[in-house]
Amino acid sequence: MSRRRVTPLHRDSLAPDHCSPKLRREILGRSTYFKGLSAEALATVDERFREQHYPAGKVICREGGPARSLFFVAHGNVKLLRHSPAGDDVVVDLLPQGGLFGGLAALGLGHYPETALAHTACCVLSVSAPAFQQLLERYPGVTIEVLKSASRSLNDAREAIRQLTTSRVDARIAMALVKLGERLGEETGHGILIQVPLPQQDLAAMVGATPETVSRVMARMKREGLVDSGRQWVRILDPGGLQAMIEGRAAPKTKGA
């Protein structure tokens, strides 16, 4: 059978590190948070934001640092991390375009609760915390949208907690892949390609496992035809099979007979 082949991701087309000034307002206007606003309101919002570019891997804000701003992902992907005292990193979220982060900053908390890293090269818009607070006061509709989004994140986080405490690693990896597929995947002829560089190390940090374990589980998934993968990329071939794995009704072992 076909051995894994060359990286199917086109890195640069994925995340140009520029972000046309004209596009900026359009991107804001299309986002969940601001799409209900009038043109003037949108302009007001827009002018509060400051544009910043980050190459892949660059730190945008650091856990524990004084929280001055709130960020909006205009282009690219941002990875949110928490560190353990021992130095391990846990990936708590991977934000696509339109994601908001540093959110607690604007609400009076003093410090960033997590580190944000440019996962791909990206363009980020930032507002100062007080300015954002003013926006929320002036446009209640925005506040409600932000609240909705926070609630969804809370739901996701609690779901992750449930998974972490009740499911085994393979189920969690399957779940992570399915979610990534939904949020960042692109349907191709041969399954859903996850449109983000995804080293197994990151996957491990998302599900609370080691890279070795991820490798072993993925090897099994490949053997069973559920996914295909290579250096920093994953393609989902059989979502149904993954779903079965998530729900626990899977081949628990190599199941010889």
Partner DNA sequence: GGACTTGCTTGCGCCAGATCATCCACTGGA
Partner DNA sequence: TCCAGTGGATGATCTGGCGCAAGCAAGTCC
Q: How far is the CB of 196 from a second copy (least distance, A)?
A: 20
Count other C-beta atoms under 10 Å from residue 181's C-beta.
22
Selection from 175, 182, 179, 183 nearest residue 242 by Cα: 175
Interatomic CA distance for residues 176 and 158, integer angstroms: 14
DSSP alpha helix (H) spans, 167-232: 169-184, 200-207, 211-223
Binding mask 195-214 for a second copy (x = CB under 8 A): ------------xx------
The answer to whether 48 and 131 have CB atoms below 8 angstroms apart is yes
Minimal distance in Å, beta carbon 92 to a second copy? 5
Q: Which residue, 38 or 84, has its beta carbon nearer to DNA?
A: 84
CB of 29 to DNA, least distance (A): 35
88, 186, 187, 212: residue in contact with a second copy (rule CB under 8 A): 88
Q: How distant is the alpha carbon of residue 130 from its chain centre?
A: 26
147, interface contact from DNA, a second copy, none, CB < 5-8 Å by kind: a second copy
82 lies in the site for DNA, by CB under 7 A: no
Binding-site partner at residue 23 among DNA, a second copy, none, CB < 5 to 8 Å by type: none
Q: How far is the CB of 6 from a second copy (least distance, A)?
A: 32
Residue 97, classed as helix, strand or coil, is: coil
**Alpha-carbon span 99 to 129, nearest angstrom:** 16
Among DNA, a second copy, none, what binds residue 179 when CB lies within 5 to 8 Å by partner kind? Answer: none
Give dist(CA 132, CA 118) in Å, integer: 22
Question: What are the C-alpha distances in Å from 90 to residues 83, 97, 114, 201, 207?
Answer: 6, 21, 10, 10, 8
Query: Where does this chain touch DNA (CB under 7 A) — which range of 35-43, 44-52, 133-141, 203-211?
Result: 203-211
103 binds a second copy (CB under 8 A): yes
Residues near a second copy (CB under 8 A) are 82, 84-86, 88, 90, 92, 103-104, 107-109, 113-114, 136-137, 140, 143-144, 146-148, 150-155, 157-162, 164-167, 207-208, 247-248
